[in-house]
């Protein structure tokens, strides 16, 4: 019965495209009371991927939570993708996931087999990450949703922040863009089977290998590219360092065929929210097509890591990443901010 359920038909939004827009989120959080603690190295006021709390001189806890409505119809694959996406925030901080708690909203349209398949998918990815699911919480909801609260370990001196990009750094991306466009096309029946298989496998692919390579190099800043799109997350990196990011659009890895699909107007709603958030801080050179710009704003679900590393160390890091992730690519660099723009797309 689980295989017959079309989960995506039970949800208004899909995957990370369901995120509250970055601009709206900032307004909602503005003015909320914040309490300080000298051991809290990273809190929600920093707009980073996870919080970090120091336990000892050599150990800090890295905590995050992420859940969303179905982005694929198969319940097991949905569980895998949602878990991989939640685990990614710990990897982006340079940490290792250790414990996880299930967050599950069960639709009355789902039978027991479908619910168990979602949970099995989550367990599958958490086990692959070397972590343990220790419990969780479930409620009934009109729309199904699934994700994890994840706790990881990281050395306090080796925490990677998303706001530490520095002038002269090279930006490296580890997964192709175009997830939101591909999923939108799939829903409309306009994506070929090869693309559907590839985007599903990519979303379920852990950022563990990328993280394990990354921590062997002096990477200065890192984030994972998810619901705010490539330019939304690059903007957070640039703002933190009071610098500007130059995005070389011709070097951006894309899922096969998504540029043509974007040209057809098969764009997720989240793309428009991301554009409204980042467009005012972005200068786009003549010759960069509208479809390419749309893909840079496209919300990604379980996207790759975006790393900022010195120009000296970038070639060695890129070679090491490509041994594990052939699609890894240097996609831009960091310069001094000028003319008020944090992002420059060439």
User: Of the candidates 72, 98, 89, which has an alpha carbon nearest to the alpha carbon of residue 227?
Assistant: 89
Residue written as token pair 């996609």? 331
Distance, in Å, from the CA atom of 329 to the CA atom of 338, rounded to the nearest integer, reads 26
Instruction: Write out the catalytic residue numbers.
Output: 16
What are the Cα distances from residue 15, in Å, to 71, 111, 202, 225?
5, 21, 14, 13
Q: Please report how the helices 269-278 and 290-297 are oriented relative to each other, as an axis angle in degrees rounded to 10.
A: 90
Please give the span between the terminal C-alpha atoms of the chain, in angstroms, as a whole number.
49
β-pair partners for 147: 67, 103
Strands (E), the chain: 40-42, 51-54, 60-68, 96-106, 132-140, 145-154, 169-173, 221-224, 243-247, 282-284, 305-310, 329-336, 343-345
Note whether 133 and 124 are within 8 A (CB): no
């Amino acid at each position: 019965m689980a295989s017959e359920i079309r989960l995506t038909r039970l949800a208004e939004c899909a995957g990370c495209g369901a995120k509250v827009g970055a601009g709206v989120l900032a307004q909602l959080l503005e003015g909320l009371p914040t309490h300080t603690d000298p051991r809290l190295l990273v809190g929600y006021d920093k707009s980073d991927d996870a919080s970090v709390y120091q336990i000892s001189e050599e150990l800090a806890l890295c905590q995050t939570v992420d859940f969303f409505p179905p982005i694929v119809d198969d319940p097991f694959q949905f569980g895998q993708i949602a878990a991989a996406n939640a685990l990614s925030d710990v990897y982006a901080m340079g940490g290792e996931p250790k414990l996880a708690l299930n967050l599950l909203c069960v639709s009355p349209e789902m039978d027991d087999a479908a619910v168990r398949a979602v949970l099995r998918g989550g367990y599958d990815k958490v086990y692959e990450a070397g972590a343990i699911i220790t419990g969780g919480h479930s409620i009934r909801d009109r729309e199904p949703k699934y994700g994890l609260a994840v706790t990881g370990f990281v050395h306090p001196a080796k925490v990677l922040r998303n706001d530490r990009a520095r002038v002269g750094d090279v930006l490296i991306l580890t997964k192709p863009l175009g997830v939101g466009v591909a999923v939108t096309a799939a829903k409309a029946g306009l994506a070929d089977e090869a693309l559907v298989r590839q985007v599903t496998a990519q979303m379920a692919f852990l950022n563990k290998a990328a993280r394990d390579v990354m921590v062997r190099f002096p990477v200065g800043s890192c984030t994972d590219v998810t619901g705010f799109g490539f330019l939304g997350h690059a903007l957070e990196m640039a703002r933190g360092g009071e610098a500007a990011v130059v995005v070389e659009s011709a070097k951006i890895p894309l899922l096969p065929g998504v540029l043509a699909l974007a040209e057809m107007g098969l764009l997720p709603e989240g793309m428009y929210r991301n554009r409204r958030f980042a467009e005012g801080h972005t200068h786009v050179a003549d010759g960069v097509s509208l479809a390419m710009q749309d893909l840079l704003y496209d919300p990604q679900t379980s996207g790759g890591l975006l790393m900022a590393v010195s120009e000296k160390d970038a070639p060695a890091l890129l070679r090491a990443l490509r041994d594990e992730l052939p699609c890894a690519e240097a996609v831009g660099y960091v310069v001094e901010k000028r003319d008020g723009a944090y992002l420059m797309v060439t």
